[in-house]
């Protein structure tokens, strides 16, 4: 296979399940992913969402690292706007010290929730001192780059423990601007095609990153549903849609349902807003059909690694979809 496959998991809580059951399945899926040969296993961050049980990826990362052997485990991603860059650096330096060479730090710009949770997470935070997202990311980069051996100053501030093998760094985004920022900081870039399926914007972002990073290839996150037949995959993917909400202050967010879009507007007390459907761009079908599409993307855009998001709430269907994907070995072109 000319491209690598990695997984993004959101710990969805299926109907009739408890969050504990959903989290137990996330661990099981990580262990299966290691057995099936996936390269990375990333945990998402979502707040105040009854149907998703993962608000703190760094906590889950530690649990999964302890129950796997060689799988890379990381965040997909930490929603940096809510947190101190110094504390994020401490968390991931600690994780990288616990499991050297196995930890990924993926950072995202989105809020990971609606305005109610954003206000709660940022309570007491000085917005002016915090700065914009690019400033926060540069601050995080600085803490991660600090070397304990550089200086013997007693009062020097470090994000300890300083690991021998730091976490790999990824910026998650769905725009050309995010690609530029990733290249500027020498972070790996992940285009979120699972949220923005626009091929023109994908092409622009990947080309910009490749040019500014000296030829590096970005990763691409995609929604994938695999079934025994194309008809079954179509059934599983029915009614999947994303919505982009933009309000008067320039704030925007992508949500999975119209109900979430309306909740965002209510919670933001927005009177001037726009809701736009976005292409869900689900790659679906049999394992052979899905691999054919991934191979076409690999050939056209030079994508060397796909982050697979399988948007199915049913645990059994999600596990089966990923097992079918992993067990199909396409003939090399």
Considering the entire predicted model, what is its pTM? 0.92
pLDDT of residue 259: 85
DSSP 162-219: --SSPPEEEEEESSHHHHHHHHHHT-EEEEETTT---HHHHHHHHHHHHHHTTSPPPE
Cβ atoms of residues 22 and 314 within 8 Å: no
Residues paired with 192 in a beta bridge = 221
Q: How far apart are CA 10 and CA 164, in angstroms?
A: 30
Residues in the chain: 333
pLDDT of residue 333: 36
**Which one, of 320, 311, 321, lies nearest residue 8 by Cα?**
311
pLDDT of residue 207: 97
DSSP 224: E
**What backbone torsions phi and psi does residue 312 show, to the nearest 5 degrees?**
-120, 130
Q: Look up tokens 């970005």; give the residue.
A: 218
Q: Is 164 exposed, middle or buried (0-12, 13-18, 19+ CB in 10 A)?
A: exposed
pLDDT of residue 96: 98
DSSP 327: H
Give the pLDDT means over successive 10-residue stretches in the chain (333 positions). 91 94 97 96 95 96 98 97 97 98 96 91 90 96 84 78 96 96 98 90 97 97 96 88 80 80 88 82 94 95 96 91 87 39
**Which one, of 300, 330, 331, lies nearest residue 226 by Cα?**
330
pLDDT of residue 160: 95
Supply 19's token pair.
């969050």
Q: How far apart are CA 57 and CA 103, in angstroms?
A: 12
pLDDT of residue 332: 39
pLDDT of residue 1: 56
Task: Return the exposure string of 321-331: e unless at least 16 CB atoms fall within 10 Å of the residue's CB, then b.
Answer: bbbbbbeeeee
Around Cβ 147, how many Cβ atoms within 10 Å? Answer: 8
Q: Which helix (H) or strand (E) holds 226?
A: strand 219-226
Residues paired with 270 in a beta bridge = none
């Amino acid at each position: 296979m000319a491209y690598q496959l990695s997984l993004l998991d959101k710990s969805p809580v299926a109907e009739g399940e408890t969050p504990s059951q959903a989290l137990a399945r996330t661990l099981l899926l990580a262990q299966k992913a290691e057995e099936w040969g996936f390269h990375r296993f990333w945990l998402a961050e979502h707040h105040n969402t009854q149907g998703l049980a993962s608000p703190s990826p760094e906590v889950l990362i530690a649990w999964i690292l302890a129950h796997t052997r060689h799988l890379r485990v990381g965040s997909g991603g930490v929603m940096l706007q809510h947190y101190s860059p110094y504390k994020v650096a401490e968390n991931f330096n600690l994780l990288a010290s616990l499991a050297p060479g196995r930890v990924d730090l993926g950072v995202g710009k989105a809020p990971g929730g609606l305005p109610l949770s954003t206000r709660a997470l940022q309570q007491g935070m000085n917005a002016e001192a915090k700065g914009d997202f690019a400033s926060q990311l540069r601050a995080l980069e600085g803490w991660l780059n600090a070397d304990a051996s550089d200086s013997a100053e007693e009062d020097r501030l470090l994000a300890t423990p300083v690991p021998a093998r730091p976490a790999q760094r990824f910026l998650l985004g769905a725009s050309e601007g995010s690609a530029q920022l990733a290249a500027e900081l020498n972070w790996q870039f992940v285009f979120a095609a699972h949220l923005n399926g626009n091929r023109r914007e994908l092409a622009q972002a990947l080309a910009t990153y490749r040019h500014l990073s000296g030829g590096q290839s970005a990763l691409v996150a995609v929604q994938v549903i695999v079934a025994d037949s194309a008809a079954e995959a179509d059934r599983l993917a029915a009614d999947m849609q994303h919505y982009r909400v933009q309000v008067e202050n320039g704030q925007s967010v992508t949500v999975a349902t119209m109900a979430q879009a309306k909740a965002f507007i209510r919670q933001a007390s927005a009177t001037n807003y726009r809701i736009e459907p976005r292409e869900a761009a689900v790659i679906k079908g049999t394992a052979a059909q899905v691999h054919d599409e991934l191979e076409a993307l690999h050939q056209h855009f030079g994508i060397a690694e796909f982050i697979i998001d399988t948007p199915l709430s049913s645990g059994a269907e999600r596990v089966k979809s990923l097992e079918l994907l992993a067990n199909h070995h396409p003939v090399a072109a």
